[in-house]
Amino acid sequence: MNLVDKQLVQRRRKKRLFSNRIMRQIFFSASVFGIVVLAVLLYRIFREGLPYLDIDFLTSFASRFPEEAGIKAAITGSVWLMAVTAPVSVVLGVGTAVYLEEYAKENMFTRFIRMNISNLAGVPSVVFGLLGLTVFVRLMEMGRSIIAGGFTMSLLILPIIVVASQEAIRAIPNSQYEASYAMGATKWQTIRRVVLPAALPGILTGGILALSRAIGETAPLLMIGALSFIAYLPENIWSGFTVLPIQIFNWTARPQEEFHLVASTGIIILLFILLLMNSVAVLIRHKYSKRY
């Protein structure tokens, strides 16, 4: 007795194969659409910006005249800002991750903290700008300084670094802990000599990707009152500053068409920096990752 209806099986098989082809075409079309839009955008940026890209553009200050405008102050300000943001965010982020994963007891309060840290990673950046304006600029009276901007950007990327560090620490197998404890090491010695070195590739990757987000942000710095036009270099962390995204925003807001072309040149520099930072993160991940 034949209990299988072959015709029914064939019809259902053809239906599944047809649905599979349809979904594959939809996903392929979505990928092609994104690539085409990105290619058109890059083509326009490079076509408009390359004629202005030279040494003078990199070594000149902002100007009222497009042919004399440069990004020297913006690049220097971005470096100063990252010099404050990087150590603050990495130290606090890694320390928070180590505490939550190694020392904190598993209870409702710890789960509440972890959930809120994950949620903070999706909060709009302008909210962190409002927080920085309230706490650092006004309450702590830091003014429109590099240190106020650095602390604000640290708050922005801190959840990303915490989550990335937590995932890197969780990836370490228990056998590594057990081997360290069997040798007589204390918990802190195990963390310092076993856990952190093994988790370092993931921590560095997450940190670099978080800093690449910070260097491209504009809204938080606009909220704390970062300058859009300066013709001097910052002298210390209490100096006024501008950064590449704000300088580009200032140029695009100008009515003259020439400033829009100069903004395209600034976008090329910013894209190069972001690609360089992301490439370093990928290289670190591939070179130093260990598979247990």
The string of pLDDT tens digits covering residues 146-184 is: 999 999 999 999 999 999 999 999 888 888 888 888 888
The string of pLDDT tens digits covering residues 199-209 is: 888 888 888 88
**Would you state the pLDDT for residue 252?**
87
- 201, 216 Cβ separation under 8 angstroms: no
The answer, yes or no, to whether residue 91 has pLDDT greater than 90, is: yes
- 146, 239 Cβ separation under 8 angstroms: yes
71 phi and psi angles, rounded to 5 deg: -125, 25
Domain boundaries, the chain: 6-52, 56-290
The string of pLDDT tens digits covering residues 1-24 is: 556 667 777 878 888 888 889 999
pTM: 0.83
Q: 56-290 — its CATH code?
A: 1.10.3720.10
How many Å apart are CA 168 and CA 93, to the nearest integer? 12
Tokens standing for residue 52: 């202005």
| Choice between 280 and 265, residue whose per-residue pLDDT is larger | 265
